[in-house]
Amino acid sequence: MKKFIPVGILLLILFMGGCYSCNTQRSLVNKDEAVKSAWANVQTQYQRRADLIDNLVATVKGAANFEKETLTAVIEARASASKITMNANDLTPEKLQQFQASQGQLSQALGRLMVVSEQYPELKANQNFLALQDEIAGTENRIAFSRTSFNDAVQAYNITVRTFPNNILSGMFGFQTKGMFEAEAGAQKAPKVQF
């Protein structure tokens, strides 16, 4: 009888460890899927913006004597941003930073287009242009919301992956930390306002 007690304790410990490992793996999979879903939402909003930009460019091209440099910059930035695709299984900080940089260039080019368009009364009176301008502004808000949701999902995932003893099991199961969106370079500086 005394021989079975240590074996029973060992079996109980192994059973409890197995249950903990299963629960940890299940939790990691759930959080990884939440990150993938949040990433899909981010991509959806960026795709929406890219589609709207095509319509905006077509509308602006109709304006007589519109600055071709600005329009070309938007078209090139959109093409560059569209080339960078990321797999939800490989969201490393470096790749996410590269993706964010290309999208940032597109945002800057789009911002310049909107500023320059103020100088063209025929554009400001064009209902299609005004509607597209509103749609793009709304899409930028959706992008910001999607990026925040993505960062929240990644944070929950990364905490689980890095917390002891999950960090041991996550390494065994092949789960690695994922990158997050960060503020654009220079975003912490307040813009200078001059009158």
Overall domain count for the chain: 1
Q: Which of the pair, 104 or 123, is modelled with greater confidence?
A: 104
Give me the pLDDT at residue 30, please. Answer: 95
| Banded pLDDT at 55 (limits 50, 70, 90) | confident
Instruction: Indicate whether 195 pLDDT > 50.
Output: no
Half-sphere exposure of 77 (CA within 13 A, CB side): 25
Establish if 156 belongs to a structural domain: yes
Establish if 47 belongs to a structural domain: yes
Establish if 89 belongs to a structural domain: yes
Q: In the predicted model, what is the mean pLDDT of residues 103-113?
A: 88
Query: CA 105 → CA 101, 116, 182, distances in Å?
Result: 6, 17, 15
Establish if 189 belongs to a structural domain: no
Question: 23-27, 56-60, 139-143: lowest mean pLDDT where?
Answer: 56-60
d(Cα 60, Cα 56) in Å, to the nearest integer? 6
- Token couple for 113: 């287009």
Give me the pLDDT at residue 80, please. Answer: 87
Establish if 7 belongs to a structural domain: no
Establish if 183 belongs to a structural domain: no
Q: Encode pLDDT of 109-137 as tens digits.
A: 888 888 888 787 777 778 888 888 899 99
Instruction: Indicate whether 84 pLDDT > 60.
Output: yes
Establish if 45 belongs to a structural domain: yes
Q: In the predicted model, what is the mean pLDDT of residues 159-173?
A: 91
Virtual CA dihedral for 168, 95, 26, 143, nearest 10 degrees?
A: 140
Establish if 73 belongs to a structural domain: yes
Q: Which domain holds residue 31?
A: 24-173
Give me the pLDDT at residue 191, please. Answer: 47
Q: What is the DSSP string of 3-39?
A: THHHHHHHHHHHHHHHHHHHHHHHHHHHHHHHHHHHH
Of all residues in the chain, the percent with pLDDT exceeding 90 is: 31
Can you give the CATH number for the domain in which 40 is found?
Answer: 1.20.1440.20
